[in-house]
Chains A and B, each alone.
Chain A
Protein backbone atom coordinates (compact mmCIF):
# COMPACT_ATOMS: atom_id res chain seq x y z
CA UNK A 1 0.00 0.00 0.00
CA UNK A 2 1.09 3.54 -0.74
CA UNK A 3 1.88 5.46 2.37
CA UNK A 4 1.90 9.19 2.80
CA UNK A 5 3.38 10.22 6.11
CA UNK A 6 3.04 13.62 7.67
CA UNK A 7 5.68 14.14 10.30
CA UNK A 8 3.51 15.83 12.92
CA UNK A 9 -0.05 15.10 13.94
CA UNK A 10 -0.43 18.25 16.06
CA UNK A 11 1.64 21.43 16.09
CA UNK A 12 1.38 24.62 18.11
CA UNK A 13 3.42 27.58 16.91
CA UNK A 14 3.67 31.26 17.77
CA UNK A 15 2.75 34.10 15.47
CA UNK A 16 5.72 35.09 13.32
CA UNK A 17 7.49 31.75 13.56
CA UNK A 18 8.73 29.97 10.46
CA UNK A 19 6.92 26.63 10.26
CA UNK A 20 7.81 23.55 8.25
CA UNK A 21 5.25 20.82 7.56
CA UNK A 22 6.82 17.69 6.14
CA UNK A 23 5.28 15.04 3.92
CA UNK A 24 6.92 11.85 2.68
CA UNK A 25 5.54 9.24 0.28
CA UNK A 26 6.99 5.83 -0.43
CA UNK A 27 5.62 4.96 -3.90
CA UNK A 28 7.82 7.02 -6.19
CA UNK A 29 4.87 9.25 -7.12
CA UNK A 30 5.55 12.22 -9.35
CA UNK A 31 2.75 14.45 -8.06
CA UNK A 32 2.38 15.74 -4.54
CA UNK A 33 -0.15 18.17 -3.10
CA UNK A 34 -0.78 20.30 -0.04
CA UNK A 35 -4.37 21.04 0.93
CA UNK A 36 -5.79 23.05 3.76
CA UNK A 37 -9.06 21.96 5.38
CA UNK A 38 -11.32 24.37 7.24
CA UNK A 39 -14.89 23.86 8.51
CA UNK A 40 -17.43 24.90 5.91
CA UNK A 41 -14.76 25.47 3.28
CA UNK A 42 -13.77 21.89 2.48
CA UNK A 43 -10.31 21.20 1.13
CA UNK A 44 -8.50 23.94 -0.72
CA UNK A 45 -5.33 23.39 -2.71
CA UNK A 46 -2.35 25.43 -1.56
CA UNK A 47 0.47 24.19 -3.79
CA UNK A 48 1.32 21.13 -5.79
CA UNK A 49 4.41 19.68 -7.39
CA UNK A 50 4.62 17.44 -10.43
CA UNK A 51 8.34 16.72 -10.23
CA UNK A 52 11.43 17.41 -8.19
CA UNK A 53 12.11 21.14 -7.91
CA UNK A 54 8.88 21.88 -9.77
CA UNK A 55 5.95 23.59 -8.10
CA UNK A 56 2.71 25.26 -9.03
CA UNK A 57 0.40 27.49 -7.06
CA UNK A 58 -2.95 26.15 -6.11
CA UNK A 59 -5.99 28.18 -5.18
CA UNK A 60 -4.71 29.76 -1.95
CA UNK A 61 -0.89 30.05 -2.07
CA UNK A 62 -0.59 33.37 -0.23
CA UNK A 63 1.50 33.11 2.90
CA UNK A 64 2.92 29.72 1.94
CA UNK A 65 5.83 28.33 0.00
CA UNK A 66 6.93 24.78 -0.79
CA UNK A 67 10.08 22.80 -1.36
CA UNK A 68 10.57 19.58 -3.35
CA UNK A 69 14.26 18.72 -3.30
CA UNK A 70 13.68 14.96 -3.41
CA UNK A 71 10.93 13.05 -5.14
CA UNK A 72 9.59 11.48 -1.96
CA UNK A 73 9.44 14.63 0.15
CA UNK A 74 7.25 17.71 -0.21
CA UNK A 75 7.51 20.42 2.41
CA UNK A 76 5.05 23.20 3.11
CA UNK A 77 6.57 26.33 4.61
CA UNK A 78 4.84 29.12 6.48
CA UNK A 79 7.40 31.91 6.30
CA UNK A 80 5.79 33.90 9.14
CA UNK A 81 2.91 32.05 10.76
CA UNK A 82 -0.28 33.97 11.42
CA UNK A 83 -3.38 33.04 13.41
CA UNK A 84 -5.45 32.76 10.23
CA UNK A 85 -3.23 29.86 9.20
CA UNK A 86 -4.57 27.76 12.06
CA UNK A 87 -6.01 24.81 10.19
CA UNK A 88 -5.78 21.14 9.29
CA UNK A 89 -3.17 20.53 6.58
CA UNK A 90 -3.41 17.45 4.38
CA UNK A 91 -0.74 16.15 2.06
CA UNK A 92 -1.50 13.85 -0.89
CA UNK A 93 0.46 12.12 -3.61
CA UNK A 94 -0.42 10.65 -6.99
CA UNK A 95 1.46 8.85 -9.72
CA UNK A 96 1.77 10.14 -13.28
CA UNK A 97 -1.37 9.98 -15.45
CA UNK A 98 0.00 7.08 -17.47
CA UNK A 99 1.05 5.21 -14.38
CA UNK A 100 -2.36 5.86 -12.89
CA UNK A 101 -4.09 4.52 -15.99
CA UNK A 102 -1.96 1.42 -15.98
CA UNK A 103 -2.34 0.75 -12.30
CA UNK A 104 -5.78 2.05 -11.44
CA UNK A 105 -7.24 -1.39 -11.29
CA UNK A 106 -4.75 -2.21 -8.57
CA UNK A 107 -4.69 1.18 -6.90
CA UNK A 108 -8.15 1.71 -5.44
CA UNK A 109 -7.88 5.47 -5.16
CA UNK A 110 -6.67 6.11 -8.73
CA UNK A 111 -3.26 6.98 -7.35
CA UNK A 112 -4.38 9.68 -4.90
CA UNK A 113 -3.31 8.89 -1.35
CA UNK A 114 -3.74 11.23 1.58
CA UNK A 115 -1.75 11.53 4.75
CA UNK A 116 -3.45 11.64 8.15
CA UNK A 117 -3.13 15.39 8.42
CA UNK A 118 -1.34 17.92 10.61
CA UNK A 119 -3.48 20.10 12.83
CA UNK A 120 -1.62 23.38 13.17
CA UNK A 121 -2.55 25.96 15.78
CA UNK A 122 -0.92 29.38 15.61
CA UNK A 123 -1.18 31.35 18.84
Chain B
Protein backbone atom coordinates (compact mmCIF):
# COMPACT_ATOMS: atom_id res chain seq x y z
CA UNK B 1 0.00 0.00 0.00
CA UNK B 2 1.14 3.51 -0.68
CA UNK B 3 1.39 6.44 1.71
CA UNK B 4 2.06 10.15 1.46
CA UNK B 5 3.69 12.53 3.93
CA UNK B 6 3.44 16.28 3.54
CA UNK B 7 5.95 18.09 5.72
CA UNK B 8 4.46 21.19 7.27
CA UNK B 9 0.73 21.59 7.75
CA UNK B 10 1.10 25.38 7.39
CA UNK B 11 3.52 27.31 5.21
CA UNK B 12 3.69 31.08 5.12
CA UNK B 13 5.55 33.10 2.46
CA UNK B 14 5.71 36.70 1.36
CA UNK B 15 4.26 37.76 -1.96
CA UNK B 16 6.96 37.33 -4.61
CA UNK B 17 8.91 34.76 -2.60
CA UNK B 18 9.61 31.16 -3.54
CA UNK B 19 6.94 28.63 -2.66
CA UNK B 20 8.15 25.15 -1.64
CA UNK B 21 5.67 22.54 -0.45
CA UNK B 22 7.16 19.18 0.45
CA UNK B 23 5.79 15.75 -0.34
CA UNK B 24 7.35 12.35 0.26
CA UNK B 25 5.72 9.12 -0.80
CA UNK B 26 6.02 5.42 -0.20
CA UNK B 27 4.90 2.94 -2.82
CA UNK B 28 5.76 -0.68 -3.59
CA UNK B 29 5.35 -0.04 -7.32
CA UNK B 30 6.32 2.91 -9.49
CA UNK B 31 3.77 5.52 -8.52
CA UNK B 32 1.75 8.16 -10.25
CA UNK B 33 1.91 11.36 -8.24
CA UNK B 34 -0.39 14.37 -8.14
CA UNK B 35 -0.70 17.79 -6.59
CA UNK B 36 -4.16 19.21 -6.04
CA UNK B 37 -5.19 22.65 -4.81
CA UNK B 38 -8.31 23.46 -2.84
CA UNK B 39 -9.57 27.01 -2.49
CA UNK B 40 -11.95 27.80 0.37
CA UNK B 41 -15.34 26.14 0.03
CA UNK B 42 -14.39 24.46 -3.23
CA UNK B 43 -13.51 20.98 -4.42
CA UNK B 44 -10.07 19.77 -5.49
CA UNK B 45 -8.45 21.05 -8.66
CA UNK B 46 -5.52 19.28 -10.27
CA UNK B 47 -2.32 21.34 -10.43
CA UNK B 48 -0.07 18.78 -12.05
CA UNK B 49 0.70 15.09 -12.28
CA UNK B 50 3.65 12.76 -12.74
CA UNK B 51 2.92 9.64 -14.78
CA UNK B 52 6.41 8.23 -15.44
CA UNK B 53 7.31 10.55 -18.29
CA UNK B 54 9.46 13.63 -17.60
CA UNK B 55 10.60 13.93 -13.99
CA UNK B 56 10.11 17.70 -13.97
CA UNK B 57 6.42 18.39 -14.35
CA UNK B 58 4.92 21.76 -15.10
CA UNK B 59 1.39 22.53 -14.06
CA UNK B 60 -1.10 25.34 -14.04
CA UNK B 61 -0.63 28.75 -12.40
CA UNK B 62 3.17 28.59 -12.68
CA UNK B 63 3.62 25.60 -10.38
CA UNK B 64 6.01 22.76 -11.06
CA UNK B 65 7.19 19.63 -9.26
CA UNK B 66 10.15 17.32 -9.62
CA UNK B 67 9.95 13.56 -9.14
CA UNK B 68 13.07 12.29 -7.36
CA UNK B 69 13.01 8.53 -7.05
CA UNK B 70 16.14 8.36 -4.92
CA UNK B 71 14.57 10.70 -2.38
CA UNK B 72 10.98 9.39 -2.83
CA UNK B 73 9.94 13.01 -3.12
CA UNK B 74 7.65 15.10 -5.27
CA UNK B 75 8.00 18.65 -3.94
CA UNK B 76 5.88 21.44 -5.37
CA UNK B 77 7.47 24.79 -6.20
CA UNK B 78 6.61 28.17 -7.63
CA UNK B 79 9.28 30.84 -8.14
CA UNK B 80 7.17 33.80 -7.09
CA UNK B 81 4.13 33.57 -4.83
CA UNK B 82 0.98 35.50 -5.61
CA UNK B 83 -1.80 36.38 -3.21
CA UNK B 84 -4.15 34.20 -5.22
CA UNK B 85 -2.01 31.15 -4.40
CA UNK B 86 -3.30 31.12 -0.82
CA UNK B 87 -5.08 27.77 -0.53
CA UNK B 88 -4.63 24.26 0.77
CA UNK B 89 -2.49 21.88 -1.25
CA UNK B 90 -2.69 18.10 -1.28
CA UNK B 91 -0.16 15.62 -2.59
CA UNK B 92 -1.60 12.33 -3.85
CA UNK B 93 -0.11 8.96 -4.77
CA UNK B 94 -1.61 6.28 -6.97
CA UNK B 95 0.19 2.97 -6.53
CA UNK B 96 -0.79 -0.49 -7.66
CA UNK B 97 -4.43 -0.17 -6.66
CA UNK B 98 -7.17 2.12 -7.90
CA UNK B 99 -7.04 4.11 -4.66
CA UNK B 100 -5.59 7.59 -4.68
CA UNK B 101 -3.99 8.22 -1.29
CA UNK B 102 -3.51 11.77 -0.06
CA UNK B 103 -1.25 13.52 2.38
CA UNK B 104 -2.77 15.55 5.17
CA UNK B 105 -2.49 18.79 3.27
CA UNK B 106 -0.47 21.99 3.56
CA UNK B 107 -2.19 25.31 4.00
CA UNK B 108 -0.32 28.07 2.18
CA UNK B 109 -0.59 31.66 3.41
CA UNK B 110 0.76 34.48 1.25
CA UNK B 111 1.57 37.70 3.08
CA UNK B 112 1.54 41.06 1.30
Binding site for B on A (CB under 8 A): 31, 33, 35, 40-45, 48, 50, 58, 90, 92, 94, 97, 104, 108-110, 112, 114-117
Contacts and interface: CB of A to CB of B under 8 A. Distances in A.
Given A42-B105, A104-B51, A110-B34, A92 B100 contact: yes
Nearest to A6: B43
A102 to B, nearest CB: 13
B104 A114 contact: no
B90 A42 contact: yes
B98 A110 contact: no
A116 B104 CA distance: 19
Contact of B102 (A42, A97, A108): A42
Contacts of B100: 33, 45, 92, 94, 112
15 contacts: A31-B98, A42-B104, A42-B105, A43-B90, A45-B100, A48-B99, A50-B98, A90-B43, A90-B44, A92-B100, A94-B98, A109-B46, A110-B51, A112-B46, A116-B43
Contact of B43 (A58, A108, A115): A115
B95 interface: no
B43 A110 contact: no
Nearest to A4: B43
What are the 7 tightest A-B residue pairs by CB atom distance, in nearest-first order? Answer: A42-B104, A109-B46, A43-B102, A116-B43, A114-B44, A114-B43, A42-B105
A41 B99 CA distance: 17
A42 B103 contact: yes
Q: Which of A41, A43, A50, A94 has the most CB of B within 10 A?
A: A43
Interface string B83-100: 000000010001000111
